[in-house]
Amino acid sequence: MRAQVLRLSGRGESIKGISSYTGRSEASISRDLDRWEDRRFEGLADGSAPGNPPRVTKEAKEFLKERLSEERTWNAPQLAEALSERLGVSVSAEAVRQHLIAMGYSWKRTRYVPSKEPDPEREGEACEELASLKKGPSKAR
């Protein structure tokens, strides 16, 4: 866009004409031309975004990858706490969740899965007890 502004200016277009053609404000066009005057080609590049640097750095992302490669199950609040304790990075669980999504991670809700088949005798007793509970209390007085 800035290169187009410079081309139009070089052809003799006014700031007002460039503004109407590009749809940008006259102040932006003027600022682009001033940047060209001051810094030439370096002035065409985008500047750095304003604001604080990101809290979750490459080191923090590597830490998250290490934790997630372990055998245990982690959730976002636990990872946020681990980041705070280990690296001194204070971020919310939601921020951790968003960074994990950006890193390509996804997850499902954890659930209990028995490690072995149940004992048939105990399973039968449990089924009988469940059936009696479904019937409700006995009406005998």
Residue 63 CA to residue 127 CA, distance in Å, equals 47
Whether residue 72 contacts residue 45, with contact meaning beta carbons closer than 8 Å, is answered with no
Rounded average pLDDT over 20-42: 82
- Tokens representing 59 are 């080191």
Structural domain contains residue 98: yes
Identify whether residues 6 and 38 lie together within a single domain: yes
pLDDT for the residue 114:
79
- Tokens representing 133 are 């509970």
Identify whether residues 63 and 98 lie together within a single domain: yes
Identify whether residues 40 and 64 lie together within a single domain: no
Structural domain contains residue 113: no
Domain holding 23, by residue range, is 2-44
Residue 57 CA to residue 72 CA, distance in Å, equals 24
Whether residue 95 contacts residue 60, with contact meaning beta carbons closer than 8 Å, is answered with no
Nearest to 64 by CA among 106, 109, 103: 103
Structural domain contains residue 127: no
User: Global pTM?
Assistant: 0.48
Looking at the 3D structure of the chain, how many domains does it have?
A: 2
User: Any long-range contacts for 5-8 (C-beta under 8 Å, 24+ apart)?
Assistant: 5/29, 5/32, 5/33, 6/32, 6/33, 6/36, 6/44
Place of tokens 């290169």: 3
76-87 vs 58-68: helix crossing angle, rounded to 10: 130
Whether residue 76 contacts residue 100, with contact meaning beta carbons closer than 8 Å, is answered with yes
Structural domain contains residue 73: yes
Structural domain contains residue 141: no
Identify whether residues 97 and 69 lie together within a single domain: yes
pLDDT for the residue 141:
52
Q: pLDDT above 90 covers what percent of the chain? A: 28
Identify whether residues 65 and 38 lie together within a single domain: no
Helix or strand run (H / E) with residue 123 = helix 120-135
Structural domain contains residue 28: yes
Structural domain contains residue 107: no
Cα of 18 vs its chain's centroid, Å: 38
pLDDT for the residue 47:
67
Structural domain contains residue 128: no
Mean pLDDT taken over the chain: 84
- By three-state DSSP, how is residue 28 classified? helix
